[in-house]
């Protein structure tokens, strides 16, 4: 996800030189956060399952299947809106199955506002679904074994310590995409100006109702959402994998 946003905006996506993952993660924590995290980590070994372990261990494939179901549902939600095509008018973002509207004058700013609004809606949908599934995964692990219960407790601590910073950073993704919008729009304007000089004295070609650069932007929005979905699901995928390895 970082690489995609960096390439689109012309920014470096590499990690700071000389810093490993733990050092970069530690930069997210203040001194008070570090003290709180250390205390929590010291108490985790003593954590026992909240409820008595079930007589029949939880089926590991059930959590994996639920993860796959949520992933598929959210992926379908992200990709279900048909992107605009140059051969037709503005993208139909409504849920009505009406016939395609005739081409109308293009307003790039309005089109970007629609994409921006849709991105925010998808982020909120992902947050609600993933948060619920993550809490469920911790409940499953807490009743599987003492070792997995400690892993669930650790995940809970890490979410409290890092979740706020993560959500803040994810909320800034549309700002990077806006930079990409402005970049593509400038490039398109420059190409149009060059074509106008080339075609001086000749009849210009009619403008397409939905230019290719805006179609490309919509596709990049979709790819960013899919990358964000993978990012949000990583902790759950890790817990599901631990459960599968602990319970054959």
Q: Which helix (H) or strand (E) holds 218?
A: helix 212-246
Distance CA 228, CA 237 (A): 14
pTM, 2 dp: 0.76
- Residue 109: predicted pLDDT: 80
- Please state the separation of Cα 239 from the chain's center in Å: 19
DSSP state, 30? -
- Residue 87: predicted pLDDT: 44
pLDDT, averaged per 10 consecutive residues of the chain (248 residues), comes to 71 62 80 82 66 59 95 95 49 47 60 88 96 96 90 91 89 86 82 67 53 84 93 96 85
DSSP result, 120-167: HHHHHHHHHHHHHHHHHHHHHHHTT-HHHHHHHHHHHHHHHHHHHHHH
- Residue 15: predicted pLDDT: 54
């Amino acid at each position: 996800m970082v690489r995609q946003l960096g390439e689109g905006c012309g920014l470096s996506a590499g990690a700071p030189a000389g810093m490993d993952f733990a050092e970069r993660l530690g930069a997210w924590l203040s001194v008070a956060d570090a003290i709180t995290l250390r205390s929590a980590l010291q108490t985790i070994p003593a954590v026992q399952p909240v409820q008595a372990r079930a007589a029949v261990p939880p089926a590991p494939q059930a959590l994996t299947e639920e993860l796959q179901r949520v992933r598929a549902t959210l992926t379908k939600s992200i990709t279900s809106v048909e992107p605009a095509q140059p051969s037709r008018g503005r993208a139909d973002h409504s849920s009505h199955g009406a016939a395609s509207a005739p081409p109308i004058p293009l307003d790039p700013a309005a089109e970007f506002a629609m994409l921006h609004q849709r991105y925010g809606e998808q982020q909120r949908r992902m947050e609600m679904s993933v948060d619920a599934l993550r809490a469920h995964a911790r409940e499953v692990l807490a009743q599987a074994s003492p070792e997995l219960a400690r892993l669930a407790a650790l995940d809970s601590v890490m979410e409290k310590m890092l979740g706020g910073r993560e959500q803040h950073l994810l909320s800034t993704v549309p700002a990077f995409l806006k930079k990409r919008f402005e970049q593509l729009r400038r490039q398109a304007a420059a190409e149009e100006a060059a074509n106008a000089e080339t075609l001086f004295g000749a009849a210009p070609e009619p403008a397409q109702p939905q230019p290719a650069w805006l179609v490309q932007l919509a596709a990049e929005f979709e790819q960013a959402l899919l990358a964000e979905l993978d990012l949000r699901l990583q902790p759950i995928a890790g817990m599901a994998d631990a459960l599968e390895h602990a319970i054959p």
